Structures are given as C-alpha cells and as structure tokens.
C-alpha cells in the first residue's frame, strides 16, 4: 500500500520542525541569559566587547557586534541607566565617546553564560568546509523561501520583537 503523500511532502514538515527547534533553542537561551544575568543577547555582546576592547568608541562596538550605532547607543543608554556601563567623552578628541564597564557590570558579565552563537561558531568551524558551505547555502535558500532576503539581521542570536518599517520591533 502506498501513501498519498510523497517523500518530499514529509520533508517540508521535518524542515519546519527543525526551524522551530532552532527558534526554540534561541528563545530558551535568551530566557536563561535573562534569568541568570538580567541581560539580553545584544546587551551581553556589547558588554563583552567593552570588556575585551578596553577604552572603546560606540562606532567600534557597533562594528564588532554588527549592530547600528543607533542601536548600540540605545542599548548603552539602558545599560548606563542600570549602572552597568558608563560613558566618558575623550579628552584627546571631544567628538569621541568611550564606553566602560562599571564594577557591577563586570560582576554581572563574569557570571553570565556564553552567547549562544559562541558555542555554535565553535561547532560550525569544526565541520569540513564542504559541510559549512552546504549549511550556508541551505539556510540562505530557506531565508529566501521565507521572503527574508531583505530583512536586516546581525549575527546575534536573540529572540524578541523587532520593530522596523515592516511592523517588527527591535529588542535591545
């Protein structure tokens, strides 16, 4: 007896389940990060960049974490309000502002879990080049099939509302 559905009909369901698992893993990690450190993924990445780079400008942070300067500024405003970072205008160049961690920010950062993408990157880089290329091509095709080619996205794995011109709200 043959099934009315072909093998490829079953495959789309498997792809959708795999996508849902990726979304769910990102969501669970985001919740764990929030629970243990009280931070979002982008906040964690920005604070780590400040720690790793030392005296650093907002433009350099934005470049390092692949977010716009406006988004980084908004996130820094929130972190500064929580007294986790502070900003100081450069004495050499008054146009530049440098971000620094407070002691409280450094303490929170020391107990925060690694960003989800860090573990992913290690595992991805351990794959053969042909496997990396195959995954990249497949995910690019999936993004295209979901009409997501023109959606601005950084390599920060974080879940939350993202508001842009298309009605989504960015979570910082």
- The residues spanned by each domain of the chain are 7-145
Please, is 13 exposed, middle or buried when counting C-beta atoms within 10 Å of its C-beta (0-12, 13-18, 19+)? exposed
Q: Which fold has domain 7-145?
A: Arc Repressor Mutant, subunit A (1.10.10)
Reported as a pLDDT band with limits 50, 70 and 90, residue 3 is low
Distances (CA, A) of 85 to 32, 58, 90: 22, 12, 16
Q: Token pair of 165, please?
A: 């011109």
Reported as a pLDDT band with limits 50, 70 and 90, residue 73 is very high
Contact call for residues 15 and 126 (beta carbons, < 8 A): no
Q: What pLDDT score does 26 carry?
A: 84
State the sign of the Cα–Cα–Cα–Cα dihedral 35, 40, 156, 22: positive
104-150 confidence digits (pLDDT tens): 999 999 888 877 777 888 999 999 999 999 999 999 999 899 888 77
Rounded Cα distance between 55 and 130, Å, is 39
Lowest mean pLDDT segment, chosen from 30-34, 73-77, 153-157: 153-157
């Amino acid at each position: 007896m043959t099934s009315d559905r072909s093998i490829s009909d079953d495959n789309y369901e498997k792809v959708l389940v795999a996508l849902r698992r990726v979304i769910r893993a990102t969501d669970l990690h985001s919740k764990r990060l929030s629970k243990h450190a009280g931070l979002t993924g982008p906040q964690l990445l920005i604070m780590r960049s400040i720690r790793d780079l030392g005296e650093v400008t907002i433009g350099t942070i934005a470049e390092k974490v692949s977010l716009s300067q406006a988004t980084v500024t908004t996130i820094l405003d929130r972190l500064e309000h929580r007294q986790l970072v502070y900003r100081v205008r450069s004495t050499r160049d008054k146009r530049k502002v440098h971000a620094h961690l407070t002691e409280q920010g450094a303490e929170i950062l020391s107990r925060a879990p690694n960003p989800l993408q860090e573990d992913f990157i290690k595992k991805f880089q351990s794959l053969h080049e042909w496997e990396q290329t195959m995954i990249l091509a497949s995910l690019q095709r999936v993004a295209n099939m979901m009409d997501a080619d023109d959606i601005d996205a950084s390599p920060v794995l974080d879940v939350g509302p993202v508001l842009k011109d298309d009605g989504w709200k960015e979570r910082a």
